[in-house]
Amino acid sequence: MQQRGEFVITAPMNTGTTAYMGRSGVLHVDGIDIVVIENNHEPFDLGCFRSLGIEPTSRRYLLLKSRIHYRAGFKPIAKAIVECDGVGVTTSDYSQFKFEKVERPAYPLDA
């Protein structure tokens, strides 16, 4: 069922503002619920699930595609956090890149 993907943020970041995920829905695949949204939105508030009828505190596992900001809303409910480092421009491992024409020292390369 398609929904608007709209909710008021209650997390410590942007509290009270409205988030717009665009057309949103939940795919139910082999006992797994997959949230699909139209607009890019950093998942840092439990509302990204609750607005679609999923109560995140009742789930054993939650998987988020997020770099840092998820901690604002999800760390308080997490028993454990497993971070994955992907290859490409979103990595925090700057040794994967060949930097040319960069004046040194440069933060965070030389931190």
Q: Residue type for 55, please?
A: E
Q: Is residue 23 part of a domain?
A: yes
Number of domains the chain contains? 1
For position 83, what pLDDT does the model report? 82
Spatial contact of 27 and 54, defined as CB atoms under 8 Å apart? no
Q: Is residue 101 part of a domain?
A: no
Residue 26: exposed, middle, or buried by beta-carbon count in 10 A (0-12, 13-18, 19+)?
middle
Q: Is residue 38 part of a domain?
A: yes
User: Could you read off the pLDDT of 11-20 as tens digits, one per residue?
Assistant: 998 999 999 9
pLDDT of 1 above 70: no
Q: Is residue 34 part of a domain?
A: yes
- Look up the domain containing 78 and give its range: 6-96
Q: Is residue 88 part of a domain?
A: yes
pLDDT of 75 above 80: yes
Mean pLDDT, range 93-104, rounded to an integer: 83
Q: Is residue 74 part of a domain?
A: yes
pLDDT of 2 above 60: no
Q: Is residue 60 part of a domain?
A: yes
User: Could you read off the pLDDT of 32-66 as tens digits, one per residue?
Assistant: 999 999 998 889 999 999 999 999 999 999 999 88
For position 110, what pLDDT does the model report? 81
